[in-house]
Amino acid sequence: MSEIEDQIRRRRTFAIISHPDAGKTTLTEKFLLYGGAINLAGSVKGKATARHAVSDWMEIEKQRGISVTSSVLQFEYGGYCINILDTPGHQDFSEDTYRTLMAADSAVMVIDASKGVEAQTRKLFKVCVMRRIPIFTFINKMDRDANDSFDLLDEIEKELGIATCPVNWPIGSGKGFKGVYDREQKAVITYSDTEKGTREGLSQVLPLSREEELRAGIGDEAADKLLEELELLDGAGAGFDLEAVRRGELTPVFFGSALTNFGVEIFLRHFLQMATPPLPRKSDKGPVDPAAAGFSAFVFKIQANMNRAHRDRVAFMRICSGRFDASMEVRHVQGGRILRLSQPQQIMADERKILSEAYAGDIIGVFDPGIFSIGDTLCMPKEEFCYEGIPTFAPEHFARVRQVDTMKRKQFIKGVEQIAQEGAIQIFQEFNTGMEEIIVGVVGVLQFDVLRFRLEKEYNVEIRLENLPYEHIRWIENWDQVDVERLTGTSDMKKVRDLKGNPLLLFVNPWSVGMTLERNKGLVLSEFGRN
């Protein structure tokens, strides 16, 4: 096996998804703790003086205690090189999560044991199914009162349409939480609380075969209930099938508590064995083999001002094949140029380490002078192909944005354009007036708060937002074949252009879309923009 093949084989790249407050960021931190990437886990919530989660690096995240942008974290554990993509849980930032899932090989779904499958879990899960990526489930917060374990499995199967296979089984919950039964090991691992931020509490392993020891360890009542539930589980539950897991048809389920660190390392060990290394990716020339092909990658995220001191802009790339060398030249397919990637770095939230090499499966950040867009492909200079595009989602909320201080027009335009290029917002301008009037479209209204906050903190620009009634947007597919200025619309229709100059129509009412199509024969409208 070549060095490149060996390096790719030990890569695991996955996204963590969940509904807000299910404990996703806490779980991420505990993974980093086991990998030695951090020494003490931070508290996700709390006062301004408290430690903050490593993955929540943006100022607004630290103040609000929520994740609003995806973070990329890399660490080593047990001979594996792990790339974690921590995603925002809040639905208003789901577009960032969708794009991040395009860069992942598998997903870890975190579910709150007392709440079960929630709305955002359902939405994100559908994206995973669409991509056919393996899903691993961690049912969290067993140290608190939880729903019945069989009911939780049943809910996952009914709500998400995926078979479940528990790898371990909980013994009680909340104050009665005794630990978990490891089905492979056929033993009970007892639970004890830990000092927050440390690795693990004192636990012991009690083999099921030594019943007296088991009863002494967890009590007769808990032991009787466990034996009864295991009989039910063995009789009714789906058997473990690794191929079905890798096809995205079966989700292995683990129970534990990220906050107290119980069950986290067990989960991590199993996950690394079950998850695949990077697999071939679809492109317009067919599947690209990670080990056989030369370097190739695609841009899935752009983030401005990660380092406020340098006012820089970083393009995040998922390497899909081969080995990246910092001195190599690559082809930027969409830009039509050969270039060297500037300041390639491994990024741990807002901390950076300049790197000289990386392999398929890795996520790297490179300095972007404003030439990259989300979805761009990079490959070897003599190659030319494109990876499948990253879908953009139509905004559902619109507002007119103006800067308070007219003398800060330049900073305002720069800030709005840079944040739009990250994909966090979409900006439009009046059809015939240029950038004098700027309309911002977002998927979730909380993005308006983020826009206001970032313009003030990063660009020193204060803005006023005027909410607009539009809720429906359509790009004009065949704008080069119709006279956009003479289109006959409805009274609630507005003509605008996007950042690339493409004409669009905004509507207040959904039925106006059909009426506009009826009044303009030959007009073709689309819910998605051109890449």
Q: How far apart are the first and last CA of the chain?
A: 39
Distance CA 3, CA 6 (A): 5
Task: State how beta strands 11-18 and 80-86 pair.
Answer: parallel
For residue 281, what is the DSSP state? B
Tell me the three state secondary structure of residue 225: helix
Report the CATH fold assignment for 296-379: Elongation Factor Tu (Ef-tu); domain 3 (2.40.30)
**What's residue 195's pLDDT?**
46
CA atoms within 13 A on the CB side of 244: 12
> In angstroms, how far is CA 470 from the centroid of its own chain?
28
Q: Is there a common fold for 6-74+89-171+237-274 and 397-526?
A: no
Distance CA 477, CA 529 (A): 8
**What's residue 69's pLDDT?**
42
Regarding the domain with residue range 6-74+89-171+237-274, which homologous superfamily does it belong to in the CATH classification? P-loop containing nucleotide triphosphate hydrolases (3.40.50.300)
For residue 175, what is the DSSP state? G
Distance CA 335, CA 450 (A): 30
For residue 407, what is the DSSP state? G
DSSP codes, 484-520: GGG----TT-EEEEETTS-EEEEESSTHHHHHHHHHS
Strand residues in 266-344 grouped as ranges (E): 296-304, 313-321, 323-325, 329-332, 337-340
What is the CATH code for 397-526?
3.30.70.3280
Distance CA 372, CA 197 (A): 39
Question: Which of 425, 453, 403, 431 lies closest to 506 in space, CA to CA?
Answer: 431
Is the Cα dihedral 73, 76, 82, 87 positive or negative? negative
pLDDT digits (tens), the chain, 531 positions: 689 999 999 999 999 888 778 888 888 888 888 877 555 444 333 333 334 444 443 454 444 443 334 467 888 899 999 998 876 544 444 566 777 888 999 999 999 999 998 876 777 787 787 778 899 999 999 999 999 999 999 999 998 889 999 999 999 999 999 999 999 889 999 987 654 444 555 568 888 888 888 899 899 999 999 999 999 988 776 689 999 999 999 999 999 999 888 989 889 999 999 999 999 999 999 999 999 889 999 998 887 765 555 567 888 899 999 999 999 999 999 999 999 998 888 766 556 788 889 999 999 989 888 899 889 999 999 999 999 877 666 788 999 999 999 899 999 998 888 888 777 788 898 887 655 679 999 877 878 888 898 899 888 999 999 999 999 999 888 888 888 888 998 999 999 988 778 889 999 999 999 999 999 988 999 876 554
Enumerate the domain spans of the chain.
Answer: 6-74+89-171+237-274, 296-379, 397-526
- Cβ-based neighbours of 458, under 8 Å, separated by 6 or more: 304, 305, 308, 415
Q: Extract the tokens encoding 181.
A: 């039964």
Token look-up 């440390």 returns 198
Query: pTM of the prediction?
Result: 0.77
Q: Extract the tokens encoding 67.
A: 């994740």
Task: State how beta strands 163-166 and 187-190 pair.
Answer: unpaired
Question: Which of 440, 374, 322, 369 lies closest to 100 in space, CA to CA?
Answer: 374
